[in-house]
Structure 1
Amino acid sequence: MAASGSKVEYLPGLQHQGPLPFELITGYIGVGEGDEVQVFYYFIKSERDPTSDPILMWISGGPGCSSLFAFVHEFGPAKLDIVAYNGSLPTLSLNPHSWSKVSNLLLVDLPVRSGFSYSTTERCNTSDTFQQCDHAEQFMRKWLVDYPEYLTNPLYVGGDSYSGLVVPIIAHKISDGNEARTKPWINLKGYILGNPMTKVAEDAAYVIPFISRMGFIPEDLFEKSKKHCYEAEDVYNVPCMWDSLKITELIQYIYPAHILEPPCSRAPEPYDESNGERRLLTERPTLPSSILCWDDWYKTSEYWANDDSVREALHVRKGSVGQWKSCNPDLGYTASIGDVFSYHVNLSAKGYRSLVYSSGDHDAEVPYLATKAWIESLNYSTVEYWRPWIVDGGVGGYTTSYSNNMTFATVKGSGHIVPFFTPSESSAMFKRWISGEKL
């Protein structure tokens, strides 16, 4: 059977002379009834040994964010340059911290209408969490039929943010399919989650304790909000409402994805004493002076992906999708589950490896406190107690490992999109873990 993908010979805008120094294949796999959902993928071969290195099947969060975002902003072999958009084609440079140095990367646009994935019929233009996971399992088995040379490679399923609610279900479905002898058998070894949602209600409940620890709200307000909003029998009470309004007022000009970075909203006088200049506290990476916030700069990927020369190079089918969006807000998607704790329990009982990483100090969207809490509620014994892990002579973060083959790691100084804000540390963490080494 002919492979579903085509080799990408060049990437428009890449600042590199000669042929691509990495091998990239893109294509479509049909899933669902009559293959009506056409799933777009990017397959980057490992730069070490693609014949035996693991495959990381990655699904970005959102829901509805394209995995091209992970390619050009996070851990792909080429990253968009952090410069102000001037109307011309954005440029890319080779990424020395790419995860493809030690692993095959299979980046998948799911659910339907994410990135370059599309449906051939109107009735398949909407989806939900479980349908997304069904499509992911179908995709993986069909992809291996197209590429049988990778049947024995270890597979890890990965994703970040909202995909914390998706990846464990996908891994569970693949595992169940293997046990039911569904062909082809998949050499599933585990899963990887970055700043993941797991118990949505509890994740949100840890935001206030986190920002209190960061010193954004006074201790007395934190204690009152606990009493009125979390410990009260009826949380829909007037004191809770007033506490919540005050907290919202105090943090409205904080960028939750990285609390040291500038937000898109500007503080009015008398708070803003910057004379119109953006205040930036962190050294890496650095925003162009003309860009107010990272959410605005991320649109660079949309300028790049919607260029005709880029679509042609990536072998995107003409007329299949309109404007490519890094995260599609009009997805028609139903988030049909808000707690995947039981899936972690099941996967742990089966002995699968797992890496759960989190910004330890600067992500207020899914605080590390929430992630650490559900991991500890698994009640597995600690194999290695909380300790620093080192990168280039400095502390990269802190880590704990458990008897269920789970490793929890924080990444110091990072934000919600960990490989973007701390690429060197993230690369070291991934390389060590995927190779079976201690962090």
Structure 2
Amino acid sequence: MNDLITKLPGQPHVNLRQFAGYIDVDENVVGRSLFYYFVEAEKDPMTQPLTIWLTGGPGCSSVGDGFGSVGPFIVTKDAHALQTIFFLGTKLLFSTIKCYSTSMSNLLFIDSPIGSGWSYSNTSSDYNNGDDSTNKILLSFMQKWYDKYPVFKSKDLYLAGSSFAGHFVLNLANALLDNNKQSKQSKFNLKGLVLGNPMLRKKLDDLARIDFFFSWEMINSSLYNEIKKECNVIDENNYFSNIKTTWRAKCKNLMYEANLAAFKTDAHNYSPQKLFDVFRAPSVENEQDLNLGKQVPKVSTEVDMCIPLRVQFYFNLPEVQKAFHGNRTNLSYRWKGCFTASFKYNEADKDLDMLPALQNLLQQSIPITIFSGDQDGIIPTMGTLQHLEKLAEELNINLTKEETWSFSNKYEFGDLLKFLTVKGGNHHVTSSRPSQAFSISKIFTINWMH
């Protein structure tokens, strides 16, 4: 109860309980702690499952994602208050009546790895993160979090996340299953996974971006063919042995040239943020207007592109940090949604092949739903579909169903693997197409897996 949140600044009244605080993940190391935010389901939380949300980056705050898209709250246009999320049809509306995500599950957000959000260590080397170290710390967090909230260990558990969570979620899921085999005590009751725009094979995703540009006529055939000739050195059938392949200088220059050509810009005006949503311009507003009490929205085809800016402003308010029980060590840097100055991640781990991890989970009968926004230039839909087709081939699983769904296409590989594309969704489908993301989580994850 020490972690119970009385009320967050600017929060409307809701019929649910919230908790936030730190879990010390290693009793042998003083000051190695992950920050978490936990929201009970609004109705009968003791009968609802637990969903863990991990945001990618690597180095982005999962807790911040809860206030930018996932729920139960979203930061208002002046960044000084919160609104709850409610759906009507396919448009995102705001209401004080219902929190959509907590209508079907308890929600746990974990800032991981060390250096994300308010998670910290007093040992500087802990900020040099990688897949293995991150996974070990997450497993320790889970064990200690359940010690703190033992009533939830018997509940059905779902792991979810976006982007580089394609590494985090898959690695953690396998670690939980391995722990179940070795432990004589109560087991982790893992029921399924849901991943949005997951990074599974980064180098092939980089190449898929070029295919994406060409399919939308954003680059010409001459540049496309030159890139395919110069950069086609990754073996789809033997990706793992080729992850250390480095692009030649000419290949990297051509890929950068393709980015400039696709957005009809030059090096001075180009921002990598454009790749997160290739058809909507990123927010160029700043915090100065918010300091003056102004509203900072930038709505482009029903999507507010300034939400991350407002979340960052809100989380740096002293009264917000106090209400969250956050920043207990008065960190030397400001809260950022992604990539604090001290954060580091092993570059080689970003290129790792995650298909073996996916395969291992499917072979242990863990259902997996993957969705992908079709406007994402970071991890294009066509690349993810190719990865899953390759995985199905290796597992001798047929594409059992392909159909047009209410907002795009749905693919089913056997009984355990589903892939849905989301029309108009960008790299963060939960933000750009929230009602569709909710439908996927509810219909194709929790309901389907039951």
TM-score by length of 2: 0.82
Match in the other structure for 1:211:
213
Contact in 1 for aligned 2:378/2:427 (Cα 8 Å): yes
Deviation sequence 1:325-378 (CA, Å, 0-9, x none)? 11124203324522221111111111101111101x211110011111111111
Query: In structure 2, what is the Cα distance between the partners aligned to 1:232 and 1:432?
Result: 36
Contact in 1 for aligned 2:57/2:164 (Cα 8 Å): yes
Secondary structure of residue in 1 paired with 2:86: coil
**Structure 2 unpaired stretches of 5+:** 88-99, 236-244, 285-297
Contact in 2 for aligned 1:362/1:413 (Cα 8 Å): yes
Percent identity between the two aligned chains: 26
Correspondence list, 1:41-120, <5 A: 41-81=36-76, 83=77, 90-97=80-87, 98-120=100-122
Tell me if 1:306 matches 2:316: yes
Tell me if 1:326 matches 2:337: yes
Contact in 2 for aligned 1:388/1:399 (Cα 8 Å): yes
Question: Across the two proteins, how many residue pairs are aligned to each other?
Answer: 400
Match in the other structure for 1:258:
277
Contact in 2 for aligned 1:195/1:356 (Cα 8 Å): yes
Query: In structure 1, what is the Cα distance between the partners aligned to 2:153 and 2:256?
Result: 54
Tell me how large the CA RMSD over aligned residues is.
2.7
Deviation sequence 1:75-115 (CA, Å, 0-9, x none)? 1111012x3x5xxx522211115322211111000111211
Contact in 1 for aligned 2:192/2:445 (Cα 8 Å): no
Query: In structure 2, what is the Cα distance between the partners aligned to 1:238 and 1:435?
Result: 46
Q: In structure 1, give the amino acid aligned to 2:301.
A: E
Q: Give 1:13's match in structure 2, choosing from 10, 25, 33.
A: 10
Contact in 1 for aligned 2:160/2:169 (Cα 8 Å): yes
Contact in 2 for aligned 1:156/1:188 (Cα 8 Å): yes
Contact in 1 for aligned 2:129/2:345 (Cα 8 Å): yes
Q: 1:243 to 1:90 in 2, by over 3 A?
A: same
Contact in 1 for aligned 2:194/2:441 (Cα 8 Å): no
Residue 189 of structure 1: CA displacement? 1.5
Secondary structure of residue in 2 paired with 1:326: coil
Q: Give 1:372's match in structure 2, choosing from 367, 374, 385.
A: 385
Q: Which moved more, 1:239-248 or 1:318-327?
A: 239-248
Secondary structure of residue in 1 paired with 2:28: helix
Secondary structure of residue in 2 paired with 1:28: strand
Secondary structure of residue in 2 paired with 1:424: helix
Match in the other structure for 1:26:
20
Query: In structure 2, what is the Cα distance between the partners aligned to 1:238 and 1:105?
Result: 45
Correspondence list, 1:312-351, <5 A: 312-322=322-332, 323-330=334-341, 331-337=343-349, 338-351=352-365
Q: In structure 1, give the amino acid aligned to 2:69.
A: E
Contact in 2 for aligned 1:27/1:40 (Cα 8 Å): yes
Residue 165 of structure 1: CA displacement? 1.7
Query: In structure 2, what is the Cα distance between the partners aligned to 1:48 and 1:20?
Result: 11
Correspondence list, 1:113-262, <5 A: 113-181=115-183, 183-230=185-232, 240=251, 243-244=254-255, 246-252=257-263, 253=265, 255-262=274-281
Contact in 1 for aligned 2:193/2:445 (Cα 8 Å): no
Query: In structure 1, what is the Cα distance between the partners aligned to 2:253 and 2:178?
Result: 48
**Structure 1 unpaired stretches of 5+:** 266-279, 287-293, 391-395
Deviation sequence 1:364-411 (CA, Å, 0-9, x none)? 110011111111111253464221222xxxxx2211122251111111
Contact in 2 for aligned 1:99/1:431 (Cα 8 Å): no
Residue 157 of structure 1: CA displacement? 1.6
Match in the other structure for 2:372:
358
Q: 1:179 to 1:344 in 2, by over 3 A?
A: same
Match in the other structure for 1:431:
442
Deviation sequence 1:147-185 (CA, Å, 0-9, x none)? 111121111122211121221111111110111116442
Query: In structure 1, what is the Cα distance between the partners aligned to 2:317 and 2:246?
Result: 50
Deviation sequence 1:307-335 (CA, Å, 0-9, x none)? 11111111225334242111124203324
Residue 212 of structure 1: CA displacement? 0.8
Contact in 2 for aligned 1:145/1:184 (Cα 8 Å): no
Residue 282 of structure 1: CA displacement? 4.1
Match in the other structure for 2:291:
none
Secondary structure of residue in 1 paired with 2:66: helix
Secondary structure of residue in 2 paired with 1:51: helix
Q: 1:317 to 1:172 in 2, by over 3 A?
A: same
Query: In structure 1, what is the Cα distance between the partners aligned to 2:205 and 2:232?
Result: 13
Match in the other structure for 1:388:
404
Q: Which moved more, 1:69-78 or 1:182-191?
A: 182-191
Secondary structure of residue in 2 paired with 1:111: coil
Query: In structure 1, what is the Cα distance between the partners aligned to 2:322 and 2:299?
Result: 40
Match in the other structure for 1:283:
301
Query: In structure 2, what is the Cα distance between the partners aligned to 1:40 and 1:311?
Result: 12
Residue 41 of structure 1: CA displacement? 0.5
Secondary structure of residue in 1 paired with 2:102: helix
Query: In structure 1, what is the Cα distance between the partners aligned to 2:102 and 2:312?
Result: 23
Q: 1:427 to 1:245 in 2, by over 3 A?
A: closer
Q: Give 2:35's match in structure 1, choosing from 25, 33, 40.
A: 40
Deviation sequence 1:251-288 (CA, Å, 0-9, x none)? 244821111111468xxxxxxxxxxxxxx9942124xx
Query: In structure 1, what is the Cα distance between the partners aligned to 2:398 and 2:138?
Result: 32
